[in-house]
Structure 1
């Protein structure tokens, strides 16, 4: 058996042979379908070990969590590649394959060395996808790269501390270097304060790139978090605060892709709460929410991509083209909306029910309900513009069949999971013994949605308005400006004289000695 990630990386190399459009389609179809079949047939408990530089590495390890995560990644890979293949250049498609392959290899890695190498390869490939899009996205891609490299350096330092404390590179719950691991994971999953790379990258990159990035980047962070730091209680409150921040920011957006980007932060908050519980049910609920989030959020990104492709604009007003002229996209969007809102018999309800059922603190339960209410409320704005606001837009391009295929596959899977929650339990080989469709759970799931409808009706004029002042603050850019300005001012004192340089060297030495003394 081989890790499906290697198959995608091989596909990236094979695409150099794609001198004709038909070859590109054949290679893409074979790789994506092949990776899905391989992942589905992986045997739990299987692992590969090898000796490298006197270290024992486990580059490939299969357990129930990695298998279900790998399955949704390969499903997402198949759907996203088919969605974007019609509009994606061959060079970008190679990078997309490399990015997906790296993410899958991280999921099945069993040691810190393999994790770090392919964690970095994810950063490099995704940054180049953004940078290569246009001149406008070069600076955004560079900023994205710097943020993720900072996270990667923290991950590397954490691995050093972990190895020093344990003497092994085996990928297990960490015992040392927790602050560094937390920063690394926080950057990857766009936790509040580390999220500044996400909205500009996902909104300025081509829509098909946003689709691919939305599937893998933050979800890899959540998966690694579930391995390294499960059961840390205070993280539940951190996840709650981050989600509430995402709700406020999403409500203030006029651009749909930025709106969807901030909503990712909300959904990651649900996953963090599940992981912080630390029980089998809590972690399973978090991973199941990763699965469901990939399904409905990818469909929403795809639907917005179709609107951008057919109208050329990314505004809420342009969503009105859905209900009138894009029937397949409209159906998929409604199913995704009901899923993300946690309505019973739709997929988001399943994972939210598991996480909520695992909570035993009234404050967290209350906060969870507020998160669910906020999620439904902000997406009612999306649905209002898509189906109820009167406007006239012309469809300038016909939606490609491959794009509709990607939407269709994920929509069917959403419906299957919502109707039969046991599918996820069977794939993850867990038995959570939850009666998903009893009166208690169904009322608990539907109440936040019903309250959101009521609030939306009364506050519609505030919720659907176009805000002139968009909330956005980037501390890192401010610090960079201060750093560059200070450096420039200090550089003016370097006049080339020996006495000046000796003064600089002596002052620096005194400062360093003072820091060491304290």
Structure 2
């Protein structure tokens, strides 16, 4: 039995061979479906252990949570590859396979060493995908790489501290170095304050790259948080703040992919809350929400990708007329909208209901309802532009059949989970004792959506206006400029004058002596 991620990595190597398009299609289909089949038949409890140097490593371990996450990663990987196979080059597709394979290997890792190696391989492969996609995305790729490296170094330092304190690398709740683990995970899941890479990368990269990134990057952060940092209650309130920030920022966006990027921050907030509660119900709700979020957010990114592919533009104004000219994309968009809004009989309702059931604190319950209301409100903006606002949108070309197949596949998955919310639990033996279709839960699920409709109508002119000045401030660029400017100014003093160097050295010694004395 091998980790499904290794199939993707092997496929990436095969794609580097000089093969024609027909072989590329066949090979990609075999690898993606093979990984899905292998993941489906994995048995919770399986564990592969190996001795490496002085360490006991577990590079492959299966339990109910890892199988659930692995399944949705494999399903979404199949859909994403089908969607993009006619658009991206063979080299980019090979890097995408490495990225997906690394994410799957992280999910099934049983020790911190394996997790870290493939966490970093995700960073390297995804950075090269962005950098190599086009000349316009090189700077974006460098920025993304630096942010992810900062997170990786924090994670590595946390692993050092954990090993020093416990003497093992097992993948359990952390006892030491918690702040460093929190920082590493916060960057990966785009927590507010560490989120700046996400809207930048997802809006600048080609749309098919954004589809793949949206599936795995933040979700790996959520999964690792579930493994290492569950039950830290204060993080639930941090998740609430992050989610509300995402709503405010999304409502002020004019570019669709930036809008979707900020909405990811909001949806991750739901998952943070569930994990931070720490109960079996809360964690199950968070991980089910991870599954549902991958489904409807990937569909929305794919739908926007279809619009970009057919019109060449990425703004809300270009969504208009979708219902008339792109029927398949329109149906998928409506299903995804109802899912993300948490409307009963759609997939998002199921996981949000579980998280609400797990919450015991009134403030968090109130915050969760506000988050659901804000989510519905901002996606009404999306729907308004897509179906109700008049537009002169013209299709320069028809969407590729493969794009519609990938889109349709995930839409069917959303509908199945919405109609049968016990499906995910039955597949992975994660039991949640909730009657999803009783009056209490259905009213709780639909109320935020119903309240958002009149509010949107009343404040439509503010919600759909073109904001010239956006609430965007990147402190990391400011800090970088300060360092560069300071270094440049200091370099002016390095002119070879010995007396000046002696003065600098003497002054520094006097300051150090004063600090020691006082």
TM over 0.5: yes
Check conservation: 2:321, 2:390, Cα contact below 8 A. Answer: no
**Structure 2 Cα separation of the partners of residues 465 and 30 of structure 1:** 47
**Structure 2 Cα separation of the partners of residues 517 and 289 of structure 1:** 57
2:399 paired residue number: 399
1:481 paired residue number: 481
Change over 3 Å in CA distance of 1:392–1:506 after alignment to 2: same
2:297 paired residue number: 297
- Give CA deviations for 1:69-99 in whole Å, capped at 9, x if unaligned: 0000000100000000010011100110000
**Structure 2 Cα separation of the partners of residues 501 and 243 of structure 1:** 52
2:37 paired residue number: 37
- Give CA deviations for 1:348-378 in whole Å, capped at 9, x if unaligned: 0000000001111111100000000000000
- Give CA deviations for 1:463-510 in whole Å, capped at 9, x if unaligned: 111111122100000011111101111111112133433444555566
Check conservation: 2:340, 2:348, Cα contact below 8 A. Answer: yes
What secondary structure does 1:51 align onto? strand
2:180 paired residue number: 180
What secondary structure does 1:176 align onto? coil
**Structure 2 Cα separation of the partners of residues 33 and 448 of structure 1:** 38
Check conservation: 2:190, 2:196, Cα contact below 8 A. Answer: yes
What secondary structure does 1:48 align onto? strand
- Give CA deviations for 1:313-364 in whole Å, capped at 9, x if unaligned: 0010111141111100000000000000000000000000000011111111
**Structure 1 Cα separation of the partners of residues 309 and 53 of structure 2:** 50
Given the alignment of the two structures, is residue 278 of structure 1 paired with residue 282 of structure 2, yes or no? no
Check conservation: 1:111, 1:169, Cα contact below 8 A. Answer: yes
How far the C-alpha of 1:453 sits from its partner, in A, is 0.5
Given the alignment of the two structures, is residue 325 of structure 1 paired with residue 325 of structure 2, yes or no? yes
1:146 paired residue number: 146
Change over 3 Å in CA distance of 1:483–1:419 after alignment to 2: same
Change over 3 Å in CA distance of 1:250–1:503 after alignment to 2: same
2:127 paired residue number: 127
Change over 3 Å in CA distance of 1:62–1:504 after alignment to 2: farther
Given the alignment of the two structures, is residue 423 of structure 1 paired with residue 428 of structure 2, yes or no? no
**Structure 2 Cα separation of the partners of residues 255 and 199 of structure 1:** 10
**Structure 2 Cα separation of the partners of residues 388 and 375 of structure 1:** 19
Change over 3 Å in CA distance of 1:504–1:319 after alignment to 2: same
Change over 3 Å in CA distance of 1:508–1:177 after alignment to 2: farther
Check conservation: 2:319, 2:393, Cα contact below 8 A. Answer: no
**Structure 2 Cα separation of the partners of residues 517 and 3 of structure 1:** 59
2:310 paired residue number: 310
2:381 paired residue number: 381
1:158 paired residue number: 158
2:8 paired residue number: 8
Check conservation: 1:173, 1:228, Cα contact below 8 A. Answer: yes
Change over 3 Å in CA distance of 1:205–1:508 after alignment to 2: farther
How many residues were matched structurally? 518
1:96 paired residue number: 96
Change over 3 Å in CA distance of 1:349–1:487 after alignment to 2: same
1:444 paired residue number: 444
Change over 3 Å in CA distance of 1:509–1:91 after alignment to 2: farther
How far the C-alpha of 1:16 sits from its partner, in A, is 1.4
**Structure 1 Cα separation of the partners of residues 122 and 80 of structure 2:** 16
Check conservation: 1:321, 1:395, Cα contact below 8 A. Answer: no
CA RMSD after TM alignment = 1.4
In the TM superposition, 1:229-244 aligns within 5 A as: 229-244=229-244
What secondary structure does 2:16 align onto? helix
Instruction: Give the structure-2-normalised TM-score.
Output: 0.98
**Structure 1 Cα separation of the partners of residues 516 and 415 of structure 2:** 61
Check conservation: 1:311, 1:396, Cα contact below 8 A. Answer: yes
2:340 paired residue number: 340
Given the alignment of the two structures, is residue 28 of structure 1 paired with residue 51 of structure 2, yes or no? no
Check conservation: 1:18, 1:24, Cα contact below 8 A. Answer: no
Change over 3 Å in CA distance of 1:345–1:160 after alignment to 2: same
What secondary structure does 2:320 align onto? helix
In the TM superposition, 1:443-462 aligns within 5 A as: 443-462=443-462
**Structure 1 Cα separation of the partners of residues 505 and 143 of structure 2:** 32
2:169 paired residue number: 169
- Give CA deviations for 1:394-418 in whole Å, capped at 9, x if unaligned: 1111111110110111000001111
Given the alignment of the two structures, is residue 356 of structure 1 paired with residue 356 of structure 2, yes or no? yes
- Give CA deviations for 1:23-44 in whole Å, capped at 9, x if unaligned: 1101100000000000000011
2:197 paired residue number: 197
What secondary structure does 2:60 align onto? strand
What secondary structure does 2:257 align onto? helix
In the TM superposition, 1:488-507 aligns within 5 A as: 488-505=488-505
Change over 3 Å in CA distance of 1:384–1:159 after alignment to 2: same
2:266 paired residue number: 266
Where does structure 1 lack aligned partners over 5 or more consecutive residues?
none
Check conservation: 1:185, 1:221, Cα contact below 8 A. Answer: yes
Where does structure 2 lack aligned partners over 5 or more consecutive residues?
none
Given the alignment of the two structures, is residue 212 of structure 1 paired with residue 212 of structure 2, yes or no? yes
Given the alignment of the two structures, is residue 61 of structure 1 paired with residue 51 of structure 2, yes or no? no
**Structure 2 Cα separation of the partners of residues 409 and 517 of structure 1:** 71
Change over 3 Å in CA distance of 1:252–1:517 after alignment to 2: farther
